[in-house]
Amino acid sequence: MSRMSAYVNKKQDMMFIPFITAGDPCEEATVELACVLQSAGANALELGIPYSDPLADGPVIQKASKRALSHGMSLLQSLRLVKKIRLRGVKIPVIIFTYFNLLLQLGEENFFREAKENEIDGLLVPDLPYEESRELAASCSMHGISLISLVAPTTSEKRLRKIGADAQGFLYCVSSLGVTGVRRRFHPDVFPFLERVRRACDLPVAVGFGISSGAQVEELREHADGYIVGSAIVSEVGKRADRLKNEDTRFEALQEISDFLNKNLLAKHKVVE
């Protein structure tokens, strides 16, 4: 059984899949954050690769990318950072969230070699449409990596069935149109959309974009298998960026982030095997 299927499956009770930006605000903080998130019950980790033109990301994650880029974080460094995360005891799947231009620059052969060496489990490329991703999907399958697909409320029924049939790992459902960012409530159309997705795909369904409270998680419980949280966590990292960079204050800042997660974002009765 792959690490992805062992941790990301329908047997879990509302899977928690957090997102952080690699190298934000420094490499060691990223490693420590990954450990905190696993301890909090994360089923998988999305590791965002900082990029100068992140089309799918809102202001919070754009600022995180800027902080990481300011000290030279790259796709290659981010992949190698996962090895450090593994050495610190993180066993959950790690999914690389990157834009296609960065993959092109590194090269597919180099990417898959580094992914194997550094124990990467998944890949998500938000600016690569399904129709243009088939070659990459085949390469991912060959190398034991799940290419995560995105669907949105505007996805047609015909296209949803195609994407659902070919999905790997889990299906990422975008809860709203536009870029990432904290939102107070879901649009009512989200729930019938999620029911359509579940009929079209046998894999776990996880919802992202805008989730920032336990109340939202509970709203999703009957409609999805998991939830993805990015901006709400990255915002807390940003508030403590200077303290996270400082070895003397890092532990306290990490504890505050852990407390924030437990108070605001973690589903009740989670099970991670």
* Active site positions, annotated: 46, 57
Cis peptide upstream of residue 25 (ω within 30 degrees of 0): yes
Give residue 142's Cα distance to chain centre.
22
Q: Give first-to-last CA distance, the chain, whole Å.
A: 13
Contacts of 80 (CB under 8 A, 6+ apart): 114, 118
CA dist 266 and 273 (Å) reads 17
DSSP string, 44-76: -EEEEPP-SS-TT--HHHHHHHHHHHTTT--HH
Q: How many CB atoms lie within 10 A of CB 152?
A: 15
Give the DSSP H or E segment for 174. strand 171-174
Q: Which of 219, 217, 224, 233 is nearest to 182 (CA)?
A: 233
CA triple 228-233-239, angle to 5 deg: 165
CA dist 23 and 222 (Å) reads 35
DSSP string, 122-167: EEE-TTS-GGG-HHHHHHHHHTT-EE-EEE-TT--HHHHHHHHHH-
